Structure 1
Amino acid sequence: MTGPDFSFEQDAMTRGAQVVAGVDEVGRGPLAGPVTAAAVILNPEDIPEGLNDSKKLSASRREALWETIHDKAEVSIAHASVEEIDTLNILRASHLAMERAVAGLTRVPDEVLIDGNMIPRGLTLPAQAIIKGDARSLSISAASIVAKICRDRVMWDLAQHYPGYGWETNAGYPSKSHREALQNLGLTPHHRRSFKPVHNILYQGKNVTS
């Protein structure tokens, strides 16, 4: 299977779009931490080489591309908090992060390419949803890389304040060690209480770490 290309962006440009942004989010599945989204506007004349779905790249390759993307493209990053995830639900919160990322761009896109099968309802710009877009669109691939690295760094920082949960390596996902730490150490303010494994521990009356 071939990697992502610029065809979706070029199609938008043939319809008159001059500025096309790719948007992706990371962090729907973790038990802790925010959900993070990135919006990226690539320069058609200077696209970084090696872009792909962030999950298909090594950590070192993602880091190198993070630098290149920031050098060559316009980037906006945004989050939805744990409180927003628990209040709204994870899908709506991830869409909120996407909306915020697009709003943070210095240029208003003429079209937005969204990874997934839904367009966030608060996004008023022309947009199309692209299933598995991070493996098909270079702009979305770039956004997936930026979002993942940013969120991983957020979780690494949180891990320094809340050791024992392994966030520096599991990024808040429900690894065995993370689930065991939940049972042994209790909850932190950064755990998503609406997620079943966390809710069950809260219901059992486990301690909450401040």
Structure 2
Amino acid sequence: MKRQLRHGMLLAVAAPLFALTGCDSGDTYYDFGYPRTTNNGGSGANNDDSRLYELANTLRGHWNGAMRYEYTDDNGKRSIAQFDAQMEFDQYDATRLEGRGQEIDAATVNGKTQTQTLTFTWAIDERTSDIYVVYDNSQKKYRITFLQNNELQSYLDGKRFAGTMIGVNNNEFIDFELSRYSYAKPANVVFSRAANTRAAGLEVEYKLVKR
């Protein structure tokens, strides 16, 4: 598939380092928020590959912030649990678009703090640049997309990683707002408009849910 690069902005906010937009021709456009040279020659594939590795290298590391987990409880009720979260993404090596990771969740309820640790594998789809996360214990699979025509588009740069994990083999959503661990965690976490719209009418509880 032919790929080209272009410069642009994400809606009315600063453009993310990684985003994707589509067009009617079937071409895929990468929008990194800063100027790139458009190359219609044979080196285009190599340029695309370098962007994927740049994505993997940016994802790698420690992130902390908050998550909202939307799920169906044992009584068939749609529910949302919110909690603090830390995520670590490790690459198998610098030439791979995949790796392993760990997530540590914590919630304080009635003065008591509960935690849980989850491990997962992750991989970048070379065709779409979507990130797929599969949790070890549950084998639940989620997709993180950077497509701009998707209302659940995610955002990634060197300091911030935010968006939604969309359930693939399940009917769940995990909204996340994370910052690079070396930067201060925001005092008030604000989830995306899409996350808040989807959660309208549902009670958000501060608690952990076994996943």
TM-score (norm: length of structure 1): 0.27
TM-score (norm: length of structure 2): 0.26
- Larger RCO (alpha carbons 8 Å, 6+ apart): 1
